[in-house]
């Protein structure tokens, strides 16, 4: 029990420190690296509570795809840090106001939070029907039986969002494109001109 508590505080401390460094690091590449470190520590916390499926998803999806994508985008864009810091003081009052509002909301939510003592041990005891099954199998049963339509709906929404992002960022350049309908409806007399050229004269 002492080992689990010490491990929890270790991962939680590193997670909080890396999260602070994400928003305080001056180099965007360093911010992405700290974000990857935060994801790994969050995955370790999920493993500690027995949610290995969420830990695997966090590592595979966020660390293996999203964070690496952020890193490549930041490195390819070659962001000018001096231009980013120029507008920092201009938006500082608005950012401080929004941060203060969020802090007040968190304090109000934390002050109104109540925990019933009899519910403390319920989350630690496994469900009797799923006691002999893994966490991944239990989540799969719930997703593809009770929430199958909602799961498919979320996938459709993500697909539409991806198509919308591609359409919004698509740039039409002045280049020649193939039009099959124009090629099919083209007549020979529209594109071919027959001229009679006399001997010794040019066209």
Q: Examine the fold and report which residue of 17, 45, 80 is the final residue of a domain before the chain moves on.
A: 80
Q: Model confidence over 183-202: pLDDT tens digits? A: 888 887 777 887 787 777 76
The per-residue pLDDT of the chain, averaged, comes to 79
C-beta pairs of 36-41 under 8 Å, 24+ apart in sequence: 36/63, 36/67, 39/63, 39/67, 41/11, 41/12, 41/14, 41/15
pLDDT for position 168: 77
193 found inside a domain: no
71 shares its domain with 138: no
119 found inside a domain: no
Query: In which band, very low, low, confident or very high, does the pLDDT at 179 lie, cut at 50, 70 and 90?
Result: confident
Better pLDDT: 126 or 147: 147
Query: In which band, very low, low, confident or very high, does the pLDDT at 33 lie, cut at 50, 70 and 90?
Result: confident
75 shares its domain with 11: yes
- Per DSSP, the residues of 94-148 read HHHHHHHHHHHHHHHHHHT----GGGTTTTTSPPGGGTTS-HHHHHHHIIIIITH
Q: Examine the fold and report which residue of 49, 80, 111 is the final residue of a domain before the chain moves on.
A: 80
Mean pLDDT, residues 76-92 taken together: 68
Question: Mean pLDDT lowest for which of 6-10, 32-36, 72-76, 138-142?
Answer: 72-76
Distinct helix (H) and strand (E) counts, the chain: 10, 0
**For residue 114, pLDDT beyond 90:** no
1 shares its domain with 68: yes
| Domain hosting residue 41, numbered range | 1-80
**For residue 131, pLDDT beyond 60:** no
139 found inside a domain: yes
Q: Tell me what percent of the residues of the chain surpass a pLDDT of 70.
A: 78
100 found inside a domain: no
CB 30, CB 22: distance < 8 Å: no
159 found inside a domain: yes
Tell me the CA distances in angstroms from 81 to 16, 27, 86, 96, 134, one per residue in order: 25, 8, 9, 21, 47
CB 33, CB 63: distance < 8 Å: no
24 found inside a domain: yes
184 found inside a domain: no
75 shares its domain with 137: no
The enclosing domain of 25 has a CATH number of: 1.20.120.1200
Query: How many domains is the chain built from?
Result: 2
Is the pTM for the entire model greater than 0.75? no
Mean pLDDT, residues 102-126 taken together: 70
9 shares its domain with 76: yes
161 found inside a domain: yes
140 shares its domain with 76: no
Mean pLDDT, residues 27-36 taken together: 83
């Amino acid at each position: 029990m002492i080992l689990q508590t010490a491990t929890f505080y270790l991962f939680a401390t590193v997670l909080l420190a890396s999260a602070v460094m994400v928003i305080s690091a001056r180099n965007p590449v360093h911010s992405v690296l700290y974000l990857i470190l935060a994801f790994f520590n969050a995955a370790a916390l999920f493993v500690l509570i027995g949610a290995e499926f969420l830990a695997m998803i966090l590592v595979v999806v966020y660390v293996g795809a999203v964070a690496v994508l952020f890193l490549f985008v930041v490195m390819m864009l070659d962001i000018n840090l001096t231009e980013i810091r120029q507008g920092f003081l201009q938006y500082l009052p608005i950012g401080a106001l929004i941060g203060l509002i969020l802090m007040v909301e968190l304090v109000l939510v934390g002050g109104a939070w109540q925990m019933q003592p009899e519910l403390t041990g319920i989350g630690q005891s496994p469900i009797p029907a799923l006691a002999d099954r893994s966490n991944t199998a239990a989540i799969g049963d719930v997703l593809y039986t009770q929430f199958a339509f909602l799961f498919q709906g979320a996938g459709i929404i993500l697909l539409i969002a991806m198509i919308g992002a591609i359409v919004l960022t698509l740039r039409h350049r002045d280049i020649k494109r193939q039009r099959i309908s124009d090629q099919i409806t083209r007549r020979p007399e529209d594109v071919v001109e027959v001229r009679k050229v006399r001997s010794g004269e040019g066209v």
